[in-house]
A and B are shown apart, each in its own frame.
Chain A
């Protein structure tokens, strides 16, 4: 019986080295060669300053920007997380009604228009970088107005939304979507 303890101890040490040190180390080396940017978090720099990650959403509450989805942690990644509210929770009802009102008002939409569901609900990670293309198009006229753009500028924005829309992967998987951070980044450089 004591022999099993010694064997077990040796086996544990070996496995810690193999699966806890060598394996993650090897994967780090391989991925840093083949996917250097992705392995480091797909970070985006502007004038030498990191301004975010392609994969992590940001909070936009200015009229000049396209808005991201509501977020439980307001796009603070420490830590990620969701509201975890159940469908019958009065708190959720209150929040959803308020968000609908805000979105309709800000974008001067008619009351009876259907809002894309992702714009009235908080995401699972609190860091969802995407919204649906429809939700982006609904915000175009507001953004254009806040930036003092004319009709031509507004058309440019619509084109931008269409260009940046990501299709279903391999035309099959997931949902059509647009990255709000990248969209706003491009919008900033339109002028």
Chain B
């Protein structure tokens, strides 16, 4: 790590820390429906939307909330699925691209609806401008809004006393989009185009190069999609190379902004969470736990990339990386994008050194709670908090409480369900792939690295991350269908128990704080929480990791 890497890293973290309370406070005002900057301007639009969908703002219990959310996500899936299959008959397809296969369309639709944005295809040679903007860009917004809505419902469940209802899904989703996601995206999209990200509906440009050969230069409405792809922890690129592509991420400054956009909303939501439950300290405790885990990952990754990337005495640390970003920014991005469930890349994960690849993988395996996805990071963390409070309660022999509410069998069951659902997908689906011919035929690398490609694939699907050890050829019915179901389980296998728990918590009384209450806003609790997260992840995945990246690392240093 040289001095420039260090300065850029410090600057990045500093800006993130400064923006967290600023944006966090703003979002709290938005979701409490208090006065804020955009209220007077955008409020008429908000009211118009409620009128048009005839939403009177009635509160929903957890079942109705979940039902609305699931129905809405399912319709989004259907629309995106058929939009892709019909793309050759629809306008804005200047390259006359044919429809993708049904298994690919199935995979891509689930992928974007679940905020995963796993891509078995290359955008520039597969999807029309229309599908990218009216299909994918829309789901980038909606899946992010779904995540924030679930978080808001959970917070109401924690805060309300003996209540039945946990909010209105349509209102939560509308506010997330109108006041948070859309304005930030517009700002970012315009700045990014200033740096060189393309935004046009013209057909691909044809160039005659200096050497005299032809080069087709793909274009499209890119920056509008890239902005929300970064801000909504989506991560699905317009082009195959994602944010390594010069048209998605042309300069070090665009790189800095896109990297910041990955962590910005998930980080700020920790502050919003603190505000909404009435204790900033609770929010900062979660922030610090996430931040510490991020730093640990960064340290291991930097160390490995600088120390272990030579073969035959030749330095190869630029394999799969771009000159304008260099090694430092590539490592930082790889850790940020896997901590948050973003999944965009500016360097290829598959060519990282084994330990750096393992950090990326392990970040996802921990359940995407190191900042995590917008909304989903914190509701995932709340499930870990429930588990930690429960374990702490067992240790001291007192009945566990969180924010004055008793944690009982039902809450613990739901927490375990939400934590285990993605883990099961990762281990079982990877095992299935390792034992079958179609699973193994997609491999790009031999040896332990091949195993890493498979495990990474299902970690990415189940964690709704979307990044890949991209050598694995996953555009075949086997992987398209299996990762499709993996993404569904990883998303709704968490959301449903989380909302069920929220509904149950809402009905409980709040016991006043007393000297005997186990505090959840201290450094001691933070340490305990971190230990639980790492132990759950470690015990579940250590055997698999030791056969993949650990083995590869040992072979490398042998």
Answer whether residue A120 sits at the interface, using C-beta atoms and an 8 A cutoff: yes
| In contact, A16 and B138 (Cβ under 8 angstroms) | yes
Contacts of B213 in A (CB 8 A): 59
Contacts of A121 in B (CB 8 A): 316-321
Contacts of B253 in A (CB 8 A): 169-170, 173-174
Contacts of B67 in A (CB 8 A): 1, 4
Question: Which one, B240, B322, B446, contacts A79 given CB within 8 A?
Answer: B240
Contacts of A81 in B (CB 8 A): 122, 240-241, 470
Taking CB atoms and an 8 Å cut-off, the chain B residues in 187-220 that contact chain A are 189-190, 193-202, 205-211, 213, 215-219
Question: Which one, A10, A52, A93, A129, contacts B215 given CB within 8 A?
Answer: A52
Interface residues on B, range: 35 or more
Contacts of B315 in A (CB 8 A): 114, 117
Contacts of A170 in B (CB 8 A): 253
Taking CB atoms and an 8 Å cut-off, the chain B residues in 214-249 that contact chain A are 215-219, 221, 223-225, 228, 239-241, 244-247
Contacts of B347 in A (CB 8 A): 124
Contacts of A124 in B (CB 8 A): 241, 244, 320-322, 330, 345-348
| In contact, B53 and A78 (Cβ under 8 angstroms) | no
| In contact, A86 and B552 (Cβ under 8 angstroms) | yes
A185 to B55 alpha-carbon distance, docked (Å) = 60
A79 to B201 alpha-carbon distance, docked (Å) = 19
Question: Which one, B199, B317, B323, B452, contacts A132 given CB within 8 A?
Answer: B323
| In contact, A174 and B326 (Cβ under 8 angstroms) | yes
A148 to B228 alpha-carbon distance, docked (Å) = 52
| In contact, B224 and A28 (Cβ under 8 angstroms) | yes
Given contacts A27-B186, A38-B194, A89-B445, contact A169 B137 (CB under 8 A): no
Answer whether residue B555 sits at the interface, using C-beta atoms and an 8 A cutoff: yes
A69 to B67 alpha-carbon distance, docked (Å) = 53
Answer whether residue A82 sits at the interface, using C-beta atoms and an 8 A cutoff: yes
Contacts of B198 in A (CB 8 A): 38-41
Given contacts A28-B201, A28-B221, A82-B470, contact A174 B125 (CB under 8 A): no
Q: How far is the CB of B228 from chain A (nearest CB, A)?
A: 8
Answer whether residue A21 sits at the interface, using C-beta atoms and an 8 A cutoff: yes
A123 to B316 alpha-carbon distance, docked (Å) = 11
Contacts of A128 in B (CB 8 A): 246, 322-324
Q: How far is the CB of A72 from chain B (nearest CB, A)?
A: 9
Question: Which one, A28, A92, A130, A131, contacts B311 given CB within 8 A?
Answer: A92
Question: Which one, B71, B202, B246, contacts A125 given CB within 8 A?
Answer: B246
Answer whether residue B41 sits at the interface, using C-beta atoms and an 8 A cutoff: no
Answer whether residue B135 sits at the interface, using C-beta atoms and an 8 A cutoff: yes
Contacts of B394 in A (CB 8 A): none
Answer whether residue B513 sits at the interface, using C-beta atoms and an 8 A cutoff: no
Given contacts A28-B199, A125-B244, contact A51 B207 (CB under 8 A): yes
| In contact, A58 and B326 (Cβ under 8 angstroms) | no
| In contact, A51 and B445 (Cβ under 8 angstroms) | no
Contact segment of B3-11, B157-165, B293-301, B483-491: B3-11
| In contact, A31 and B182 (Cβ under 8 angstroms) | no
| In contact, A125 and B252 (Cβ under 8 angstroms) | no
Shortest Cβ distance from B354 into A: residue? A87
| In contact, B321 and A14 (Cβ under 8 angstroms) | no
Q: How far is the CB of B195 from chain A (nearest CB, A)?
A: 7
| In contact, A19 and B348 (Cβ under 8 angstroms) | no
Answer whether residue B329 sits at the interface, using C-beta atoms and an 8 A cutoff: yes
| In contact, B215 and A76 (Cβ under 8 angstroms) | yes
A69 to B317 alpha-carbon distance, docked (Å) = 14
A86 to B67 alpha-carbon distance, docked (Å) = 44
Answer whether residue B64 sits at the interface, using C-beta atoms and an 8 A cutoff: yes
Answer whether residue B363 sits at the interface, using C-beta atoms and an 8 A cutoff: no
Q: How far is the CB of B139 from chain A (nearest CB, A)?
A: 9
Contact segment of A42-50, A137-145, A152-160: A42-50
Contact segment of B72-80, B376-384, B492-500: B72-80
Contacts of A19 in B (CB 8 A): 137-138, 140-142, 177, 182, 228
Question: Which one, B247, B256, B312, B449, contacts A89 given CB within 8 A?
Answer: B449
The 4 A-B pairs of least Cβ separation, nearest first, read A174-B252, A84-B471, A79-B122, A124-B244
13 intermolecular pairs with C-beta atoms under 8 Å apart: A7-B170, A8-B75, A11-B170, A23-B224, A27-B199, A27-B224, A69-B318, A76-B216, A81-B240, A87-B319, A87-B354, A130-B323, A175-B325
Q: CB within 8 Å of A: which residues of B?
A: 4, 7-8, 11, 49, 52-55, 64, 67-68, 71-72, 75-76, 79, 122-125, 133-135, 137-138, 140-142, 170, 173-174, 177, 182, 185-186, 189-190, 193-202, 205-211, 213, 215-219, 221, 223-225, 228, 239-241, 244-247, 250-253, 255-256, 308-309, 311-312, 314-326, 329-330, 345-348, 350-351, 353-354, 444-447, 449, 452, 469-471, 552, 555-556
